[in-house]
Amino acid sequence: MSENENNKSSNKMWGGRFGSGPDAIMEEINASIGFDKKLYAQDIEGSMAHAQMLADNGIISAEDRDKITHGLNTISSEIESGQFEFSRALEDIHMNIEARLRELIGPTAGRLHTARSRNDQVALDFRLWVKAELGKTAKLLEQLISAFVKRAEEHADTVMPGFTHLQTAQPVTFGHHCLAYVEMFYRDLSRVLDCIDRLDECPLGAAALAGTGFPIDRHQTAKALGFREPTRNSLDSVSDRDFAMEYLSLATICATHLSRLAEEIVIWSTPQFNFVKLSDSFSTGSSIMPQKKNPDAAELVRAKTGRINGAMVGLLTVMKGLPLAYSKDMQEDKEQVFDAANSLELALAAMAGMVADMHVNKDAMQKAAGSGFSTATDLADWLVREAGLPFRDAHHATGAAVALAEKQNIELHEIKLSELQEINSAITEDIYSVLTVQASVASRKSFGGTAPDNVREQIKYWKSKSWLSN
């Protein structure tokens, strides 16, 4: 199609008020087909549902509906096979499809736009797309959670150091650590499901902003398109992008969780920690240092957070201060959502793969679990429980024991009983029963604690989830 023909088609879409096509700069800033062609399937699906409803309510004939449906199916096949020619002069996916439909079936194509506007059309397309992406995100989160539950089951007894301030604090089990991420990513999953519930309303039929005088059935199109019900206010219907902002909001939280996990994997895989070893599938080498095995997949997951956070800020800024109802600013609502969805889904898939096949070095974890006087709190607790000391006095006595161990360059359980009794005479030989890593971990039986039996109970809880048992 020549440029003049493009301009003529564009003018026809705009109507008789405009005598000439847009100049180059206006076309450049106005066109969105470069990115919104991603919505072609949703646009065609919405148009088919709309055509069916128009026919069922006597607004167009059944013959026109059949021509429109056949033409839309043809366009769908052309796009999917790569034969469809997208035109920048036609601005967006809606007008590209409508122009091609007119080429295929003639003036009947113009009946399709009865009782709708590009405003409710794009709101529908984008909402359908985000709803589908939320479904994909939910499945990926379920896979990641499942991978963590499996690793937790394998390592319910594997001890490792627990950290605060990245300093050894108290020993925990690796299974317990895995379940911490299960909790985290399950919250992400619940936000995804909440978002689906809130966006499950169909804006089609709101038209430009005020609804329509045609006797349409919005409940019919909502049901046909898989929505719970139609939206209830035409102004809000075409101007609402909360569903996109909410998607980006939950994406930023999930990406933050993924980044925290990625950071731990980067740290754990260093020779200094040696807690885990990533497979070759999720590592790369160095161009100059042949010994290197870099956790690039984890590092890239960590970096994706920046893109997703940026998308959130970008859309919030676009929507800030827009008066009701639709403004052209809202054309800038999609690219960052498309990019964030791609980044999040890639990061989730990569992380599920890393968690599933990384090798856990139990010996290195156990050795590190006892370092840094990690059972000091157990000594203080014993003094409270068995010797009746106030906790603050027990804390002071334990601090003295740690100072002694540091001076002698030994662990707490290696201090002689006589030396411990010089610190506090109430200490007996029974103290040694709580100073081992295994005893410390086993004693943490409070609900939500790290004791292996607790971990196994929590694993049962998570495995009872229907989607984890599949």
pTM over 0.85: yes
Highest mean pLDDT among 151-165, 243-257, 281-295: 243-257
| pLDDT, tens only, 74-124 | 999 999 999 999 998 888 999 999 999 999 999 999 999 999 999 999 999
Is residue 220 predicted with pLDDT exceeding 50?
Answer: yes
Averaged pLDDT, 359-367: 93
Is residue 23 predicted with pLDDT exceeding 80?
Answer: no
- What pLDDT is recorded for position 317? 96
pLDDT band at 4 (very low <50, low <70, confident <90, very high): very low
| pLDDT, tens only, 195-210 | 999 999 999 999 999 9
pLDDT band at 424 (very low <50, low <70, confident <90, very high): confident
Is residue 288 predicted with pLDDT exceeding 80?
Answer: no
- What pLDDT is recorded for position 290? 47
Candidate from 18-27, 339-348, 402-411 with smallest mean pLDDT? 18-27
Q: Which of 2, 20, 81, 165 is catalytic?
A: 165
Strands 229-230 and 276-277: unpaired
pLDDT band at 285 (very low <50, low <70, confident <90, very high): low
pLDDT band at 166 (very low <50, low <70, confident <90, very high): confident
CA dist 332 and 313 (Å) reads 12
**Where is 118: in which H helix or E strand?**
helix 118-154
Q: Catalytic annotation on 343?
A: no
- What pLDDT is recorded for position 292? 52
- What pLDDT is recorded for position 228? 98
- What pLDDT is recorded for position 376? 80
DSSP class of residue 304?
A: H
Is residue 189 predicted with pLDDT exceeding 60?
Answer: yes
CA dist 90 and 108 (Å) reads 19
Q: Which of 281, 286, 371, 433 is catalytic?
A: 286
Is residue 320 predicted with pLDDT exceeding 60?
Answer: yes
SS3 content of the chain, % helix, strand, coil (to 5): 70, 5, 25
Averaged pLDDT, 405-416: 85
CA dist 289 and 68 (Å) reads 62
pLDDT band at 15 (very low <50, low <70, confident <90, very high): low
Q: Single out the residue of 421, 388, 432, 442 nearest to residue 172, CA to CA.
A: 442
Which residues does residue 170 pair with via DSSP β-bridges, in sequence order? 162
- What pLDDT is recorded for position 16? 56
Averaged pLDDT, 435-462: 91
Averaged pLDDT, 7-23: 54
pLDDT band at 344 (very low <50, low <70, confident <90, very high): very high
Instruction: Give me the helices (H) in 358-464, please.
Output: 362-369, 376-387, 391-408, 417-423, 437-443, 452-463
Mean pLDDT score across all residues of the chain: 89
CA dist 254 and 189 (Å) reads 9
Percentage of the chain lying above the pLDDT 90 cut: 66
Helices 93-105 and 40-56 pack at an angle, to 10 degrees, of 60
Is residue 263 predicted with pLDDT exceeding 70?
Answer: yes
pLDDT band at 213 (very low <50, low <70, confident <90, very high): very high
| pLDDT, tens only, 328-341 | 888 889 999 999 99
Q: Which residue type, as a one-letter code, is found at position 440?
A: S
Percentage of the chain lying above the pLDDT 70 cut: 91
HSE-up of residue 332 (Cα within 13 Å, Cβ side):
15
Six token digits for residue 123: 């709101």
- What pLDDT is recorded for position 383? 87
Is residue 2 predicted with pLDDT exceeding 50?
Answer: no
Burial 304-323 (b: 16+ CB within 10 A, else e): bbebbbebbebbeebbeeee
Q: Catalytic annotation on 279?
A: no
167 by DSSP, 3-state: which? Answer: strand
| pLDDT, tens only, 48-65 | 999 999 999 999 999 999
